[in-house]
Chain A
Amino acid sequence: MFDWVQHLADWFVYDVLKLGQGEHLSEALNFFIYDTIKILILLFVVIFFMGIVNSYFPIDKVKNYLSRNKLYGSEYLMASLFGTVTPFCSCSSVPLFIGFVSGGIPLGVTFAFLITSPLVNEVAVGLFIGLFGVKMTLIYVFSGVLLGTISGMVLQKLKLESYLTPWVKDILANAQKEQDAFIADKSSLRARLPIIWAEVLKILKGIVPYVIVGIAIGGLMHGYIPKGFFEKYMAKDNLFAVPIATILAVPMYSNASGILPVIQVLVSKGIPIGTAIAFMMGVVGLSLPEAMLLKKVMTLKLIGIFFGVVTLCIIISGYIFNIIL
């Protein structure tokens, strides 16, 4: 599918710039051109597609569905699945949290949504397809959904309602399932497209610089670091690699989307894939700015438990990937 991009990169590097094949510089440049074009195309397609899906599944619809239907235990999975198709801005996490809780949605289900939504987002998925291929992307998305579901269930079992801030407890006490009715937007796809289009361009504009810098760094490393370089340090049997990678990743903000191309190179140079996935989930799924915002609705202890449970689940999935892949 992307052969033509490779031909383009080859033509530019070897014919136009007349660089020799097999040299560090030409390999790095070739990698950079190929990856940049391929990834930008994939990002565009995925973000656009997700924009259309989201236009038909706005957050209010999700909330209504979760708060009105009896789901007999499947609500954690449903919340987690909905999380994959709704875009997430950490600045919306507080209103979203309150909206869910005031609609009578259990805390654990709200957490399931709150975990998967940033973890499986359009940018991460687009980058993932471009860098690791469809199979790895499916594994990532599937495990992200599972991780949100399980973490949500665990958090519900811990009965954490008493660790909410007082005003949120009041809201919880007055929660009602039958609130305002959701009025579905009936406009046609054609009428929605300009808005979706504008959003796609906005998202792309925000991430493209990071992605390009990431691919550039990846390109350099690709050309200069010998194959298998990291195997010595981060071999599969090093039990500390996964926890260290995860804990390092949590403070990083998800706008480190630029970091994914670098990780891909690290994997090709010998870092085990489970360790890499754990690192990426830590970067994309949990961020300190989000934790700071959540302070308005949760006590520090609850934020700590929330992040702790998710971090633990990420570490466990990192080990599982290292064993099965």
Chain B
Amino acid sequence: MSKVIKILGTGCPKCQSLTGVVKEVVNENNIDATIEKVEDIMDIMKYNVMSTPALVIDDVVTIKGRIPSKDEVLALLN
């Protein structure tokens, strides 16, 4: 089943580097997933996160306020 990955962040540099990390992991490992950036603050608040960037996988917030390593993202996706 295809995973839905959402990256929550208002467009700060950290959010962009998180997007970069996730894209790399998905591409390198041929993971079947869609990556979506959520930049609207109202939508971000629905996930109850107070520090961005945040990584949401299938509607579960897995990481908030920091940029994880590639290995960490891979582990979360598997």
Residues on A close to B: CB < 8 A?
Answer: 58-60, 63, 89-92, 94-96, 98-100, 102, 167, 171, 179-180, 195, 198-199, 202, 293, 296-297
B11 to A: closest C-beta gap in Å:
8
Given A59-B65, A296-B41 in contact, is the A96-B51 Cβ separation under 8 Å? yes
B13 to A: closest C-beta gap in Å:
8
Given A59-B51, A89-B51 in contact, is the A94-B41 Cβ separation under 8 Å? yes
Interface residues on B, range: 20 to 34
Residue numbers in A under 8 Å from B1 (CB-CB): none
- Whether B2 sits at the interface, judged by CB under 8 Å, is no
| Structural contact, A98 and B41, CB atoms closer than 8 A | yes
Within 8 A of A (CB), among B27-73: 41-42, 44-45, 48-52, 65-67, 69
Alpha-carbon distance between A271 and B41 when the two chains are bound, in angstroms:
43
Residues on B close to A: CB < 8 A?
Answer: 9-15, 41-42, 44-45, 48-52, 65-67, 69
| Structural contact, A59 and B15, CB atoms closer than 8 A | no
Residue numbers in B under 8 Å from A90 (CB-CB): 12
Given A91-B12, A95-B52 in contact, is the A195-B66 Cβ separation under 8 Å? yes
Residue of B10, B48, B67 touching A91 (CB-CB under 8 A)? B10
Residue numbers in A under 8 Å from B50 (CB-CB): 59-60, 63, 92, 95-96, 98-100
Alpha-carbon distance between A198 and B67 when the two chains are bound, in angstroms:
9
Residue numbers in B under 8 Å from A59 (CB-CB): 50-51, 65
Interface of A is mostly: helix
Minimal Cβ-Cβ distance residue in A for B72: A195
3 A-B pairs with least C-beta separation: A91-B12, A99-B50, A92-B51
Alpha-carbon distance between A293 and B10 when the two chains are bound, in angstroms:
9
Can you list 19 residue pairs at the A/B interface with Cβ under 8 Å?
Answer: A59-B50, A90-B12, A91-B10, A91-B13, A91-B14, A91-B15, A92-B50, A95-B10, A95-B45, A95-B52, A96-B51, A98-B41, A99-B48, A99-B50, A102-B45, A198-B69, A202-B67, A293-B10, A297-B41
A97 to B: closest C-beta gap in Å:
9
| Structural contact, B12 and A89, CB atoms closer than 8 A | yes
Residue numbers in A under 8 Å from B44 (CB-CB): 95
Minimal Cβ-Cβ distance residue in B for A199: B66
A156 to B: closest C-beta gap in Å:
20
Residue numbers in A under 8 Å from B10 (CB-CB): 91, 94-95, 293
Minimal Cβ-Cβ distance residue in B for A54: B65
Residue of A95, A171, A202 touching B49 (CB-CB under 8 A)? A95
Alpha-carbon distance between A76 and B56 when the two chains are bound, in angstroms:
33
Residue numbers in A under 8 Å from B12 (CB-CB): 89-91
A296 to B: closest C-beta gap in Å:
6
Alpha-carbon distance between A91 and B49 when the two chains are bound, in angstroms:
13
Alpha-carbon distance between A91 and B64 when the two chains are bound, in angstroms:
13
Residue numbers in A under 8 Å from B66 (CB-CB): 195, 199
Given A63-B50, A199-B66 in contact, is the A98-B14 Cβ separation under 8 Å? no
Alpha-carbon distance between A289 and B33 when the two chains are bound, in angstroms:
34
B40 to A: closest C-beta gap in Å:
10
| Structural contact, A89 and B42, CB atoms closer than 8 A | no
B56 to A: closest C-beta gap in Å:
13
